[in-house]
Amino acid sequence: MRKENIDNTETINQAVGKQTIKFANPPAIISRASVVGQMEGEGPLSSFYDQIENDPTFGMNSWEEGESEMVRRAVQTAISKSGISKEDIRYLLGGDLLGQLIGTTFGVKSFNIPLFGLYGACSTCGEGLSLAAMLVAAGYADNALAFTSSHYGSAEKQFRFPLEYGNQRPLSATWTVTGSGAFVVSSTKNQNAMQGYPRITAVTTGKIVDYGVVDNMNMGAIMAPAAADVIYQCLEDLSLKPDYFDKIITGDLGKVGSEILIKLLRDNNVEIGDRHMDCGVEIFDSEKQDTHSGGSGCGCCAVTLAGYILHNMDQGTWKRILFVPTGALLSTVSYNEGQTIPGIAHGIVIEH
Amino acid sequence: MRKENIDNTETINQAVGKQTIKFANPPAIISRASVVGQMEGEGPLSSFYDQIENDPTFGMNSWEEGESEMVRRAVQTAISKSGISKEDIRYLLGGDLLGQLIGTTFGVKSFNIPLFGLYGACSTCGEGLSLAAMLVAAGYADNALAFTSSHYGSAEKQFRFPLEYGNQRPLSATWTVTGSGAFVVSSTKNQNAMQGYPRITAVTTGKIVDYGVVDNMNMGAIMAPAAADVIYQCLEDLSLKPDYFDKIITGDLGKVGSEILIKLLRDNNVEIGDRHMDCGVEIFDSEKQDTHSGGSGCGCCAVTLAGYILHNMDQGTWKRILFVPTGALLSTVSYNEGQTIPGIAHGIVIEH
């Protein structure tokens, strides 16, 4: 079967094409965890989460402290499930949507593990998994832990309107997921011990793509061009067709953004319509839960990967996926100063 | 002389001790650039900067847009000085202090290079140089560009008080540097071609350290324990004494924080008082320029490294330094909610 998979038989990691790294010994995701809020727990992917917390502040005093507690629980759960001790994890790599990453800082400070703080908006899960895999595959660490989070209350307060306003939302708007996902990424130098785990065989790092969109209630349209760009480049760099993958899974484009993505790639003679899935579309039942275009936020694709997606890979339903977290790069300051909202996305090839 | 330097004669990169990576082929800093504002240009390190801009908005419409323009100029200058084309730079790694990294996003979006967005508060220069060196030394890229920025106007507006308030500042307060530094970090597989450049021989990645300080007008006290922690660990991991280094250079502890750092290490039987320098202390003439405890911000140590420090290494004044950017992890939200302000610092060993 090996010849059908990405050829990782080289003895050294390879920079291929313009933006992709192919790993000689693809790192394994030996453990993952997802912690979510009540609304996610009432959604269609409910049974795949490790923890569902109905208290929006997670027993703390504010949404922000609640987000940090959620992060702490996700990281702790991923470590516990990995069977290794936290002292054996050499790096934490993660970030969140809040200014100056306070969800991350106060979530992981008690672990006492070296930290690379990351910001890629909702693409952060992809950025963290990419760097974790790169550091592990380079031999810098036996184990690294990538994580990310978002929280409906803290995000709405920061980016849009405090919840108390009760403002109306257009149908193109997405719903920020309350969730944190964490992943222990480990070396497979000892190949035999790692046979049972999904592996990160390649990563494609995204560029900022700016189509000049200025509507912060239509994030899908902002991120779709960045997703199209990185998917196109990943296929190009690895000389693959879309049908190599059982699924090509974007982060939080929602229904509106997903349609744009498929059309953009079709215009470039790449057809992914028959195998595309978007975590933002899957995570809520938009009709019953009134979430409009779907879920969004760093946590959206992170908890969907940690739960539903990797479950399907464990079951053998999907053997190879291209996982593409998508981010919209803005702040209230840049938005109010009339700047556009550029997008970014990172591609992770996972094979089992 | 080789035996006196860090032993990089191994053929593979090595993870040594708890937090350090020693490179087999230490990446070179083949080019660097610094762009600063008027006040920095009037300071004692004036002659070492590439560009001094007297317009606080850098010809744009706001402080934030000005910060992005400053970043764009620093990155462009570093690329121009490197002699390689931007297409040969595989990764950008950088970040800034503003919420959701808008200084970075709008500063580098036109370059069309894959981006890893980073947040480590004022330690970001160290985080970026660490990851750039790690990715290059692993063979993932021949060239990567690390950059960071801060801007007095945009930072004061975000973190403290809009400048128009004219509030009084205590003597322990620091002054956010308007500056952006950029560094092209390149592979030295071709050893001979790289003899003339300073090299990153090792990196020590810091942990979050929280002494429970809550005074945002005394950042030096917040960051000193994190700096002490990473300096101690770097020496321990590499089995070195402080006198291995000609200088041990922290980011922006200022006068108050520097005293605390030296005392904390002295309490652990490590004496660095005779060779410690702090970029925040050097960058301004605190009496003439009324900058109190010194300069701060991501740009502070970045422009000091790009200018004054690497100039001294080029001249042979200093042959080996331990460069330690220091960051305080807070937002106005976490601060106003009564959270502590934890610190983080990253260590970079540079030898020439």
Q: What is the DSSP string of B122-148?
A: BTHHHHHHHHHHHHHHTTS-SEEEEEE
**Structural contact between residues A256 and A294, judged by C-beta atoms closer than 8 angstroms:** no
What pLDDT sits at residue B63?
94
What are the backbone dihedrals phi and psi of residue B149, each rounded to the nearest 5 degrees, phi first?
-155, 160
The number of beta carbons lying within 10 Å of the beta carbon of residue A212 is 8
| Chain A, nearest residue to B115 by Cα | A207
User: How far apart, in Å, are the Cα atoms of A81 and each of A29, A31, A44, A183, B246?
Assistant: 11, 6, 24, 10, 46
Alpha-carbon distance B313 to nearest alpha carbon in chain A (angstroms): 28
Residue type, A81: K
For B:254-283, CB contacts with A below 8 A are: none
Where do we find the tokens 């920095």?
Answer: B40
Does A191 fall in a domain? no
Does B262 fall in a domain? yes
Least confident of A234-243, B88-97, B337-346: B337-346
Q: What is the number of alpha carbons within 13 Å of residue B312 lying toward its C-beta? A: 14
The number of beta carbons lying within 10 Å of the beta carbon of residue A185 is 31
Give dist(CA B106, CA A71) in Å, integer.
Answer: 29
What pLDDT sits at residue A194?
67
If asked whether residues A233 and A315 sit together in one domain, one would say yes
Taking contacts as CB-CB distances below 8 angstroms, the residues of chain B near A127 are 116-117
CATH for B260:
3.40.47.40
Domain boundary among B131, B158, B186: B186
User: How far apart, in Å, are the Cα atoms of A67 and each of A119, A148, B158, B261?
Assistant: 16, 10, 22, 32
If asked whether residues B176 and B204 sit together in one domain, one would say no
For residue B164, is pLDDT > 60?
A: no
Please name the member of B117, B140, B329 whose beta carbon is closest to the beta carbon of A100: B329
Give dist(CA B331, CA B333) in Å, integer.
Answer: 5
| Chain A, nearest residue to B127 by Cα | A116
Give dist(CA B259, CA B224) in Å, integer.
Answer: 9
CB within 8 Å: A62 and B102: no
What pLDDT sits at residue A3?
40
Q: Is B113 on the interface with A (CB under 8 A)?
A: yes
Please name the member of B99, B121, B210 whose beta carbon is closest to the beta carbon of A333: B99
Please name the member of B90, B131, B139 whose beta carbon is closest to the beta carbon of A12: B139
| DSSP alpha helix (H) spans, chain B | 38-41, 63-82, 102-108, 124-137, 152-159, 219-238, 254-267, 279-282, 286-289, 298-304, 310-314, 332-336
Please name the member of A112, A130, A337 whose beta carbon is closest to the beta carbon of B64: A337
If asked whether residues B311 and B234 sit together in one domain, one would say yes
Percent of chain B clearing pLDDT 70 (strictly above): 93
For B:48-77, CB contacts with A below 8 A are: 61-62, 64-65
If asked whether residues B71 and B153 sit together in one domain, one would say yes
Residue type, B55: D
What pLDDT sits at residue B142?
96
If asked whether residues A61 and A180 sit together in one domain, one would say yes
User: How far apart, in Å, are the Cα atoms of A68 and each of A83, A103, A156, B97?
Assistant: 23, 5, 16, 20
CB within 8 Å: A120 and B117: yes
Does A17 fall in a domain? no
Q: Is A85 on the interface with B (CB under 8 A)?
A: no
Q: Is A153 on the interface with B (CB under 8 A)?
A: no
The angle formed by the CA atoms of residues A303, A313 and A279, to the nearest 5 degrees, is 35
Size of interface A-B (CB pairs under 8 A): 174
If asked whether residues B167 and B27 sit together in one domain, one would say yes
**Over the stretch B180-233, which tens digit does the pLDDT of each residue have?**
999 999 998 766 666 789 999 999 999 999 988 888 778 888 899 999 999 999
Residue A175 makes CB contacts below 8 A (sequence gap 6+) with: A39, A152, A284, A291, A292, A294, A295, A296
If asked whether residues A125 and A216 sit together in one domain, one would say no
Does B48 fall in a domain? yes
Residue B210 makes CB contacts below 8 A (sequence gap 6+) with: A109, B340, B342, B343
Does B248 fall in a domain? yes
State chain B's maximal CA–CA distance in angstroms.
58
Mutation target to probe the A interface, by most A beta carbons within 10 A, among B91, B116, B143, B207 is B116
Please name the member of B12, B108, B134 whose beta carbon is closest to the beta carbon of A135: B134
CB within 8 Å: B119 and A119: yes
- Tens digit of each residue's pLDDT, chain A (352 residues): 334 667 666 678 999 999 999 999 999 999 999 999 999 999 999 999 999 999 999 999 999 999 999 999 999 999 999 999 999 999 999 999 998 999 999 999 999 999 999 999 999 999 999 999 999 999 999 999 999 999 999 988 887 765 656 666 777 778 899 999 999 999 987 666 667 899 999 999 999 999 888 887 788 888 999 999 999 999 999 999 999 999 999 999 999 899 999 999 999 999 999 999 999 999 999 889 988 888 999 999 999 999 999 999 999 999 999 999 999 998 888 888 888 999 999 999 999 9
Does A279 fall in a domain? yes
If asked whether residues B24 and B173 sit together in one domain, one would say yes
Domain boundary among B138, B157, B186: B186
CB within 8 Å: A115 and B206: yes
What pLDDT sits at residue A192?
62
For A:176-215, CB contacts with B below 8 A are: 205-208, 210
CB within 8 Å: B102 and A329: yes
Q: Is B345 on the interface with A (CB under 8 A)?
A: no
Alpha-carbon distance B203 to nearest alpha carbon in chain A (angstroms): 11
Q: Predicted ipTM?
A: 0.95
Q: How many structural domains is chain B composed of? A: 2
Q: How many Å separate Cα A51 from the centre of its chain?
A: 18
* Domain with B278 in it: 200-351
Domain boundary among B151, B186, B221: B186
| Chain B, nearest residue to A88 by Cα | B18
Where do we find the tokens 């990160």?
Answer: A200
If asked whether residues B305 and B345 sit together in one domain, one would say yes
If asked whether residues A164 and A227 sit together in one domain, one would say no
What pLDDT sits at residue A166?
60
Report helix, strand or coil for B287.
Answer: helix
Please name the member of A109, A118, A334 whose beta carbon is closest to the beta carbon of B118: A118
Q: Is A259 exposed, middle or buried (0-12, 13-18, 19+ CB in 10 A)?
A: middle
Report helix, strand or coil for B270.
Answer: coil
Buried b (16+ CB within 10 A) or exposed e, B85-118: ebeebbbbbbbbbbbbbbbbbbbbbebebbbbbb
If asked whether residues B77 and B180 sit together in one domain, one would say yes
Taking contacts as CB-CB distances below 8 angstroms, the residues of chain A near B85 are none
If asked whether residues B219 and B306 sit together in one domain, one would say yes
Where residue B1 falls among pLDDT bands split at 50, 70, 90?
very low
Please name the member of B108, B131, B206 whose beta carbon is closest to the beta carbon of A208: B108
**Over the stretch B245-270, which tens digit does the pLDDT of each residue have?**
999 999 999 998 999 999 999 999 99
**Over the stretch B290-324, which tens digit does the pLDDT of each residue have?**
888 889 999 999 999 999 999 999 999 999 999 99
Does B136 fall in a domain? yes
Mutation target to probe the B interface, by most B beta carbons within 10 A, among A71, A208, A214, A341 is A208
CB within 8 Å: B333 and A98: yes
Least confident of A21-25, A33-37, B4-8, B238-242: B4-8
Three-state SS string across chain A, please? CHHHCCCCCCCCCEEECCCEEECCCCCEEEEEEEEEEHHHHCCCCHHHCCEEECCCCCCCCCHHHHHHHHHHHHHHHHHHHHCCCHHHCCEEEEEECCHHHHHHHHHHHHHCCCEEEECECECHHHHHHHHHHHHHHCCCCCEEEEEEEECHHHHHHHHCCCHHHCCCCCCCCCEECCEEEEEEEECCCCHHHHCCCCEEEEEECCCCECCCCCCCCCHHHHHHHHHHHHHHHHHHHHCCCHHHCCEEEECCCHHHHHHHHHHHHHHCCCCCCCCEEEHHHHCCCHHHHCCCCCEECHHHHHHHHHHHHHHHHHCCCCCEEEEECEEECCCHHHHHCCCCCCEEECEEEEEC
Name which of A102, A126, A342, A97 is nearest A216 in CA terms.
A342
Alpha-carbon distance A214 to nearest alpha carbon in chain B (angstroms): 14
Taking contacts as CB-CB distances below 8 angstroms, the residues of chain B near A339 are 65, 102, 106
Give dist(CA A187, CA A28) in Å, integer.
Answer: 7
The number of beta carbons lying within 10 Å of the beta carbon of residue B196 is 9
Does A194 fall in a domain? no
